[in-house]
Structure 1
């Protein structure tokens, strides 16, 4: 059974956690970064092996092809309601990033995250080399107490060990009976075990000078969500599919966390409050859509890689996102329609309004192209276009639909 190449147990350490995003989620990088050339890259960070591998992975990213778009929707991003409402045709699917943009944003993200981590680690290592670990364990505290006590105290007979060459009796801790550091130091060339291993790695003089190791503390374990229910999986670690990259691609596994869910009283709701029953072909009409508990200020264009990449975020207990409106023809009134045909009309609406109190937005449909029965629907979305979560399972999602006959 083939596993995702980024999910194998022997994945290099630099691919774990935040750094793995570089090779997995070009879209996430595109969504959160600007198209800005990476400048002022420090030699220390760009030459770091981890950073170099991360930058090299950016060069393998490619942008997707354009997806199919609704047939009647005005293209691009535009405003309605006297400029107060922003409409994104097809959820931003037509705003497709180029390969150059994706790679540039990836490199910028690497330099802002992985490279800065490398510089921080380098500074810490330099600090340890001068003042901690080796010096405290080997030269200062640990060395004089752990090394000399572990090594020089080994000059004293300790379970048959021979004195080390040139070892002189130490004058302080050496007069004390050697504990773990002394014994280990005597049997294992003094400074190595007593000073470096015991002293350096375990708080210098304290451990190397004779203090015993503290008893290991038990690690608390927490049952995973759904424990005992026999869930199939709760992560992409068990999936054979490739990781989702933020673009509109199927047969992928989405690892983005669900994010924040509000209280039941604050969960979003939506209702279509006004719609015509019958219209002529290509006749413009308006849908009135009311939302409650939805702050309409978060939108990441799907064509730029903003699809399923942002967790749900609350502000004052309310979901931040937008809402969608689509109209599609129904070929058969007695059977569920196919899922893949593109709709005649689709917009995602954000206007930096909305909140706990219900309000209404007018959605202007330019007309539908053919005779028949159409289903026009509206539904709320979070920053990554998913219907917002609800506290309880028996709540109704923020979704509504009407039928409109076109003659």
Structure 2
């Protein structure tokens, strides 16, 4: 790719002068993305990229999807904002669709502007309903950047303070291939994690409010437990009256291919008590929310509103996006093309000492990188691959402890040809990074 000096260098300096130092940017020369179409984006220098990260799993269907841009434009031409103090037809219509799709009986939906705010709201509901501030969370988890959600985040790279309004207890199970139970069979792994949960609950004073868990840990590097773990947990939780919050901010809407929601891989005893969502439903518009049983949702006794949650424009975008997703069976596409892509990635990484594991399901694929010849996670390797992929016209993400895992999550309309192209580009980037680490 040809790079020409352009405004982004100046824009980067301006960014550093007025924005927080912890607002991190990818790449040694950060990108300014100016427009997109389908599964591709362009930067300010005119370079075209195949987008395998979708703005952190948020461009769910496609860039510049005509149905969504039309819905936004038409709604903006009528009225931009009303607030939840007034009836909103788009909000009611989207809530009806999501309630029906959630699997939660007698469901109520509250809209927010982000996944962080959705999880924050779920924690408020659960702790109020249970009259307890004790929360069970998974090790290696991530649930947002607010004060309450960093307090339940089990990934130290994303939790800047130990202060919290909650008492958090961390449970085993979110990472299958590392930790004290990694060598066990799936059945024994689940049994060990359940025994750990039972033991922890015997040590707690008072009633725990809820377990919050991502069916696939997003920021954690697309790690997941064996199917059925959370169903086994649910049996224990139910005996104690503890609520289950499924954080579907990254796993929702069919991205995992096999299921519409991540919790459905653990569905032996029904849906969660609360479900949180965000990211992909708005296809870039700020939409998040909580679905909960009416008994739980209505447990707040004080007044509440949402100034921007459920805005007419974002609800119109969400409706159009959801309709497109369902009408074009993008869940089925994620299963088919994602299955092809993960097998292709396993094939091209075979023999590369840099890659410890290729994991995931649907269009959520993670590659854990290590220092060749060791089992030591290598954030340096991940950064090298990120740069090498960008040079070849491919955008991917990072995650995992210390940022040593690559995250692949393209728009769910990805074609077979684009999957093959991206796998080839990523293979080249991995080989380049391994050569760099080896000093060749």
Same fold per TM (> 0.5)? no
Between 1 and 2, higher relative CO (CA 8 Å, sep ≥ 6) is seen in: 2
TM-score range, shorter chain: under 0.3
From the two aligned structures, give the one with the greater helix fraction: 2
TM-score by length of 2: 0.21
